[in-house]
Amino acid sequence: MHNNLMLRCWILSYILFGNAHSAEPPQKVRIGYPSSAVSTLPFDIAKEKGFYVRAGLDVEYIQMRTSIAPQAVLNGNINFFTSPQSAISAAVSGLPLIVVLSLYRDTPWVLVTSKEINRGQDLIGKKVAISDIRSSPYYFARAGFKKLGLDEKQIGLTTTGGTSNSFAALTSNQVAGAVLSPPFDDKAMSLGYKKFLFLGDLADIPYVGLFTSQSEIRANRERVRKTIAAILDAVAWQRANRAEAVKMIATRYKISQNEAERSYDTLIGILSPDGSIDLKKVRGYLNLLHEERPIPENLDAEKLVDFSMLPSAR
């Protein structure tokens, strides 16, 4: 009887605690990002709702400028960065970087200006805020100036390091305009600024996602797959929980319920259905880069992306 009782206690103890020492510790992952916006909400959800933890990951976010991100990935300072277009730009120069996730099929960039700007010519001699040179806002700003019949040399571009900083530069009257995305475009409108020109359809440029190094894929393919899957689980949660997601947006960015709802609807409307991107956008971006610098003629857009680790590819 005593032996049976001891055996039962041992079995119960093993069930409850026996695997504690043998369980693998979570894998550390560092993800870099330029600035927080509604477009990066899936990353926040993945962390706050435990999707990373369920995937066995311990994820840290590190804010940095887009211009230094490719080298940070190659040096191992971070494992991923959230701007696919910066990976493509660096890969064109020969760096072994590759896009593994694209959250959106389109982009929501808008040129927002002070109320004194009524026509394109009013921007001449003024300053417009963008995140960085050769960032998405940079190329969309140039496309916008071209549509307005302006020479980009007639307008001063002020680099701020991120969209939230561009919003701050606009609302503190340091610049006459800024290239913004949700929620900052609607937030600026509530403060009396105007959406002067929608830019999102003026250029083919990938938006938010993940890129990493080829060596990271070779050495830690399963970790890359788990990271992608956790973020896409967060996207599915965001689609299914509109009210809570809107509340998160309103609280995080200190905007009204209506502004948060508009931002939510804008981004949900342009989400990629599976985490991949149309190669047309990659080729369109390559054409933009070709206007600035030589690009190898045999460069294959398909070699700049690898979507084989998406859940839909399994």
What are the tens digits of pLDDT across the range 238-289?
A: 999 999 999 999 999 999 999 999 999 999 999 999 999 999 999 999 998 9
Using alpha carbons, select from 85, 180, 192 the residue that is nearest to residue 141: 180
Q: Which run of H or of E encompasses 310?
A: none
Among 8-17, 237-246, 286-295, which is the least confidently predicted range? Answer: 8-17
Instruction: Supply the pTM of this predicted model.
Output: 0.84
Q: How confident is the model at residue 59 (pLDDT cuts 50, 70, 90)?
A: very high
Q: Higher model confidence: residue 38 or residue 292?
A: 38
Domains defined along the chain, listed by start:
27-106+206-313 (3.40.190.10), 110-198 (3.40.190.10)
3-state secondary structure of 108: coil
- pLDDT of 134 reads 84
pLDDT mean across residues, the chain: 91
pLDDT in tens, 153-211: 999 999 998 899 999 999 999 999 999 999 999 999 999 999 999 999 999 999 999 99
pLDDT in tens, 80-125: 999 999 999 999 989 999 999 999 999 999 999 999 999 999 999 9
